[in-house]
């Protein structure tokens, strides 16, 4: 019985083994190998002609001012977009959990919509709205406000890209926080009320501590997401002006499109390390108690 | 007391107003794309900042399909998405069932591999995945565009979590009646797990339809562009006079997802939970 099931099970899991092997396992090994060679896209025809260069690719990109700038840009995106996205998501979740009783479905669905739509399409729309004489600026000017060149000005391009990232993700945070809020027992709030606690006090004393696991999960998911930010800058600015919106993922893509797959792999590898470290942290910190 | 209630009421009304305004702002891009795609090129050039069309026209949509190759992109995107949904539902169920209900050697190892694959960010592996695809002879083919998405670990995970709740006694009874493993799977397990299959279908459709980085890398020839790649390439080449056309392209990408979202809210809601475990 057991042996027959083993054979059947092998057939059942075969599709996963094939796809996992070809698209996760082998690529992970390849990524490590390529990043220590001098291979380029041109050299892929005769891959064994490539020479081992040790950590030269890593030292090269770490001396590339554009890569350093892309790390700085990615860091700025993470430290601004993650808290903003989470704060918006949490505020909406709290509002839609109890105080708002009517049209809940519409509100939740509407705020979640940006999560499921295509970023290239949305990027084109934002470009149209935020272009020099576009909808946003005509709106601002009609209110008598000054209108910057959002996507062309090195000071405004990154904030605009970040705004798109926040727009895309806060609904996702909202949904996870809503799920977290629903696990908090109502009696806790009742008891606090009896003890004369204000709403602010019950928020600080009950809601936030009880939400801790959710908050941790959301913050790590968002950090991992924004570390890999690519679609938003690719579509809105292509990484410009003056490389101010080139993220690490976009830098990797550019090196790849120049044919420098060795440098692209080295950059990906560094990103993979950071993402891997944060994921490991997630597993350690969020591991269920039992 | 009445003072407290009325101030409470005022607060609630204010909250509704704030949330409603927030929702309106959140959904503004959909208003922009609807109005912009229906403006003529001449109108956009004359007055780029107008929020509403002076005259409605579908010339952008006509141009999109007649003068540009968006019909081809639409067909490519549809084929890739249909293939991805079918393989994720079929294979996801098979692997998920094996991991949830069958006993075999190496089961823990396979499950660990699924969890690992869940955590590896695909955007960090696109270079070696590109090489693998080239070496498999799939570069510049629709199959190559679909390849990394054919079976996502989240599909396996969702089915496994669901199938575990199916009582073992039912499966044993079917086996005692002489049903083979494949019949047990096809006739008993699949029909009982329809909600999980629907969730997998919706999530893999979204993942495939919205995928951008991978198709951008692997589709070098216009003949295999998907809609997002075609739109992104057009958008980088275009100047602002072509906004009407680009916005019409955006509508073509957004509309199927919007319709699905309205029709299948339940499956989307289950998808959140699945993503949450990630």
The rounded distance, in Å, linking the Cα atoms of A289 and A270 is 32
pLDDT at position B216 is 94
pLDDT by 10s per residue, chain B, length 278 = 456 678 888 888 999 999 999 999 999 999 999 998 998 888 887 787 788 888 888 888 998 888 888 999 999 999 999 999 999 999 999 999 999 999 898 999 999 999 888 887 777 889 999 999 999 999 889 999 999 999 999 999 999 999 998 888 888 888 888 888 889 999 999 999 998 999 999 999 999 999 999 999 999 899 999 999 999 998 887 766 688 899 999 999 999 999 999 888 766 665 554 444 43
Q: How many Å lie between the alpha carbon of A93 and the closest alpha carbon of chain B? A: 11
The DSSP output letter for B150 is S
Helical (H) or strand (E) element with B173: helix B168-176
pLDDT at position B274 is 47
Of A23, A176, A234, the CB nearest to B148: A23
pLDDT digits (tens, 9 = 90+) for A197-238: 998 999 999 999 999 889 988 998 899 999 999 999 999 999
The DSSP output letter for B39 is S
pLDDT at position A251 is 95
The rounded distance, in Å, linking the Cα atoms of B23 and A270 is 38
- Which tokens hold the place of A28? 């992970």
CB half-sphere exposure, B34, CA atoms < 13 A: 7
pLDDT digits (tens, 9 = 90+) for A53-66: 888 899 999 999 99
* ipTM, two decimals: 0.89
At A242, the pLDDT band (50, 70, 90 cuts) reads very high
- Which tokens hold the place of A196? 């004369």
* DSSP-assigned letters across all residues of chain A: -HHHHHHHHHHHHHHHHHHHIIIIIHHHHHHHHHTTB---SGGGGSGGGPPB-TTHHHHHHHH-HHHHHHHHHHHHHHHHHHHHHHHHHHHHHHHHHTT--SSHHHHHHHHHHHHHS-HHHHHHHHHHHHSTTSHHHHHHHHTT-----TTTSTTTHHHHHHHHHHHHHHHHHHHHHHHHHTTS-HHHHHHHHHTT--HHHHIIIIIHHHTHHHHHHHHHHHHHHHHT--HHHHHHTTT-STTTT--HHHHHHHHHHTT-HHHHHHHHHHHHHHHHHHHHHHHHHH----
Interchain pair B247, A264: CB under 8 A:
no
Contact (CB, 8 A) for B129 and B135: no
The rounded distance, in Å, linking the Cα atoms of A215 and A86 is 8
Q: What's phi and psi for B26, nearest 5 deg?
A: -60, -35
Q: How many Å lie between the alpha carbon of B75 and the closest alpha carbon of chain A? A: 17
| Residue % of chain A over a pLDDT of 90 | 60
The answer for residues whose C-beta is within 8 angstroms of residue A282's C-beta and 6 or more apart is A216, A217, A220
pLDDT at position B177 is 87
**Disruptive mutation site among A12, A70, A94, A104 for chain B (greatest number of B CBs within 10 Å):** A12
Contact (CB, 8 A) for B219 and B230: no
A-chain CB neighbours of B102 within 8 Å are 5, 8-9, 12
pLDDT at position A284 is 80
pLDDT at position B78 is 97
pLDDT at position B162 is 92
A-chain CB neighbours of B268 within 8 Å are 112, 116
The rounded distance, in Å, linking the Cα atoms of B103 and A9 is 8
At A175, the pLDDT band (50, 70, 90 cuts) reads very high
- CA dihedral defined by A114, A119, A122, A127, rounded to 10 degrees? 140
Confidence (pTM) = 0.90
Contact (CB, 8 A) for B30 and B255: no
Interchain pair B212, A119: CB under 8 A:
yes
**Locus of tokens 């108690």:** A289
- Which tokens hold the place of A276? 């891997």
**Locus of tokens 């019409």:** B248
**Locus of tokens 């939970």:** B273
Give the mean pLDDT of chain A: 90
- Cα angle A119, A120, A125 (rounded to 5 degrees) comes to 90
Q: Does A105 touch chain B (CB under 8 A)?
A: yes
Nearest chain A residue (CA) to B276: A176
pLDDT at position B278 is 34
> A 32-71 residues with CB below 8 A of B?
34, 44
pLDDT at position B270 is 56
- CA dihedral defined by B250, B256, B258, B261, rounded to 10 degrees? -150
Nearest chain A residue (CA) to B272: A175
pLDDT digits (tens, 9 = 90+) for A274-288: 988 888 887 787 765
Q: Does A31 touch chain B (CB under 8 A)?
A: yes
Question: For residue A4, is pLDDT > 80?
Answer: no
Interchain pair B23, A268: CB under 8 A:
no
- Within 10 Å of residue B231's Cβ, how many Cβ atoms? 29
Nearest chain A residue (CA) to B203: A116
Question: For the residues A175-189, what does the mean pLDDT come to?
Answer: 91
């Amino acid at each position: 019985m057991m042996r027959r099931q083993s054979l059947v099970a092998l057939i059942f899991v075969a599709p996963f083994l094939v796809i996992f092997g070809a698209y996760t396992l082998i690529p992970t090994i390849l990524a490590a190998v390529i990043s220590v060679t001098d291979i380029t896209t041109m050299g892929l025809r005769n891959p064994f002609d490539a020479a081992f260069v040790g950590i030269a690719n890593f030292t090269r990109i770490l001396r590339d001012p554009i890569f350093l700038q892309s790390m700085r840009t990615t860091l700025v995106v993470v430290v601004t977009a993650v808290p903003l996205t989470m704060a918006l998501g949490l505020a909406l979740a709290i509002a839609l959990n109890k105080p708002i009783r009517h049209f809940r479905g519409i509100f939740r669905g509407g705020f979640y919509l940006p999560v499921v739509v295509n970023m290239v399409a949305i990027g084109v729309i934002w470009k149209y709205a935020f272009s020099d004489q576009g909808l946003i600026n005509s709106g601002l000017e009609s209110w008598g406000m000054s209108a910057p060149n959002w996507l062309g000005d090195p000071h405004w391009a990154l904030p605009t890209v970040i705004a798109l990232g926040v727009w895309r993700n806060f609904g996702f945070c909202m949904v996870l926080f809503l799920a977290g809020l629903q696990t908090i027992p109502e009696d806790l709030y009742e008891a606090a009320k009896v003890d004369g606690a204000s709403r602010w006090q019950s928020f600080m004393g009950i809601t936030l501590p009880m939400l801790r696991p959710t908050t941790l999960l959301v913050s790590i998911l968002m950090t991992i997401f924004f570390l890999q930010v690519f679609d938003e800058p690719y579509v809105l600015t292509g990484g410009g002006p003056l490389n101010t919106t080139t993220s690490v993922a976009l830098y990797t893509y550019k090196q790849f499109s120049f044919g420098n797959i060795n440098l692209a792999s080295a950059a990906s590898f560094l990103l993979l390390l950071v993402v891997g470290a944060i994921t490991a942290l997630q597993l350690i910190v969020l591991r269920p108690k039992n | 007391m009445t003072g407290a209630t009325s101030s409470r009421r005022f607060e609630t009304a204010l909250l509704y107003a704030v949330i409603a305004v927030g929702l309106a702002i959140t959904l503004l891009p959909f208003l922009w794309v609807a109005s912009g795609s229906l403006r003529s090129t001449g109108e956009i050039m004359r007055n780029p900042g107008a929020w509403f069309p002076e005259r409605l026209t579908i010339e952008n949509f006509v141009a999109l399909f007649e003068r540009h190759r968006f019909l081809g992109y639409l067909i490519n995107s549809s084929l890739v998405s249909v293939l991805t949904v079918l393989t994720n539902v079929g294979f996801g169920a098979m692997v998920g069932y094996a991991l949830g209900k069958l006993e075999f050697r190496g089961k823990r190892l396979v499950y660990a591999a699924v969890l690992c694959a869940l955590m590896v960010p695909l955007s960090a592996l696109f270079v070696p995945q590109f090489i693998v695809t080239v070496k498999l002879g799939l570069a510049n083919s629709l199959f190559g565009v679909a390849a990394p998405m054919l079976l996502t670990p989240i599909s396996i995970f969702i089915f496994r979590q669901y199938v575990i709740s199916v009582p073992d006694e039912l499966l044993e009874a079917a086996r005692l009646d002489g049903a083979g493993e494949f019949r047990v799977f096809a006739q008993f397990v699949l029909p009982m797990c329809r909600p999980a299959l629907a969730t997998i279908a919706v999530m893999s459709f979204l993942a495939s339809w919205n995928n951008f980085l991978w198709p951008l890398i692997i589709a070098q020839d216009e003949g295999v562009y998907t809609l997002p790649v075609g739109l992104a390439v057009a958008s980088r080449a275009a100047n602002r006079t072509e906004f009407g056309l680009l916005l019409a392209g955006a509508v073509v990408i957004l509309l199927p997802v919007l319709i699905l979202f309205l029709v299948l809210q339940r499956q989307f809601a289950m998808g959140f939970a699945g993503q949450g475990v990630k």
